[in-house]
Structure 1
């Protein structure tokens, strides 16, 4: 029920004035006509309707009373006031009338009456005991508060709507009294902090926030109470288990005639976001540390490359050159063991030279990397057939087969050239005795804007347990006498693919052959190549 204290005070004041007039009623009554006219004149200008009840029936009704009820004086005089009252309100009204007569004091009461047009009206009434013509009676003042009640009902319904919205909001909503007591917290706020309604409504704001934030909070209170609206506010609350909850939101103050009524705030829990930001910052720091170490490693690698390409190369070239000269000049003068030992020296220098060259190639993958661009693998393979791999193709009677034109990809042309040379060369080298090597190269367009290339041979193959080891630097599965090489070629391939953001692997069956596959970013449209395969890496 909406506050009606102002109306009640006004009614009591009017009642006192009416009581003073009624005290002289008996003195004024000389004849009945004058009696009715005097009473009408007495109450005509009063804002409240007035009636007098004696022995349970109306003995007087003011003009305002007739207006409120919609009934004439003749329809009211001699009837019971209870006949006007709505059934649900009759008992309490009857009890109040008994109290007025018995206890001889005034009562304020709200109830509903039924006007002549069947319209239900709300009234507020002040009833007081009265001695009229020597007999007890009740004089009552009533005011029609139907419109006020309608507004109260609308406000109540609106309040229910607003409360429902607040209770079902995903944001944390709070209302705080100027002294810090909590006036209202919505369900999201309660659940976020882990309190039930009874617990939190007996707390103050300062009990759910860190102690070291209280001083700053009081300063914010003063600013908000002064009328300032604070947005983008980051605050911290303490939940029931003592953990900190970080929130962001806005606060402002509800003012009535310049006086603070309560402070309202809307917040959103950003604890997860803050934790993610902290983790991201830590990750960025880790990445920065890794990059610094990588830069240091790259510098050291560049230093090594410089040493290897100059300081180490020169002695090796001399060993190789003088060894060959010595071998030529002493031809026919050395016995078999001496000649073999000299060959070991020359061969060792050549192998060391090859190893240094491969290490330089490995280091240049990152130190001398070029921007990625569209690369046509078909052209690269054709060049390999005609130049770098021409001799070994001729010696092994090997062939390279490309069933369909290969898709273009993004890459460093020189590194993709090195990649294909190593993979195709690997297939030509590890061929079965008496079986000419056949290298087949195919591609598969994948759904994640990548393209997979397969380099398949019909060579000796390897056991599955060695699938990972073949890409390890200096890891050899065969003796140097059986197959020449430095053991770095496939490690170079892996390094190149990693630099391009792709993947590389092998699927092999002993005595059947191997398929080395790798992925690169696709260039341009995929056309109809997706129909060739599903692109799943083995």
Structure 2
């Protein structure tokens, strides 16, 4: 007998400790008995939020709970409860607005478990309700700040676009309706997709610290260079990625033009050096070639060799002259997919020798 009394005392003490613990919780905790349609357990937070005053007393009932829920949200709450009671469902969760006595509105997240008997019939509902008003306000402030950002911003969650700001819409050319719910990689050019995916993941994991560049195709089919960074955030209570998306096409164009100018300058310097170093020896070769001209009665074979030499020396003079008149950088295809300088296209020398392009003999 003493042991039984002792066990009951211990159970009662544990129950009291649990009630005190539940009452100290900032969450509203409840247990609803389905058969009796009454709350078999609730903590002080639940009572303060969902009880209503009737005849001078605070009353807690399914009716009072329903009246506390915003009228526009009541139908979806009842539907979520009904779905969770269907066979094989273990519980549910939903967000809704709660009306307070002073007229203010809170946003609540209700998550519950359905307790079933051995036959699988629902017996009770046990739940925790958390006030997420501050989080919703923070989300709105956050969205407002990135919506007004001067660079493109978007939020990705479960590999889909969940938020895009006006600048992102302007850069891509797509509407918000076309973008929300789509794969962000769909606008990235195929050649860059795997690289972008890897860079974004590395940045989200803090393995990469620097922005990455890639090309997209906007709605009009234009190619644009993008500079992007990614960071991990919580959005609407779930993990997400926030990406800053900047159009650097103009800067990229200027960079390519600068590189082209640097190439041209290098070619001009090289061409000037080649022309200078080869021109003087060439003049000697030309002079000597003239002095080696065969007599009229020389054998025909020697005359042909002399003429071949003279023609190729003149051709060499023409090429050197074109080197000295290079004004732009142009290339042409060569063997094995390589490219070489297109001297003809790069040179402005055409009619320096009476339209023939050849130096005088």
Same fold flag (TM > 0.5): no
* Greater Rg over alpha carbons, structure: 1
**Please, what TM-score do these two structures have when normalized by structure 2?**
0.45
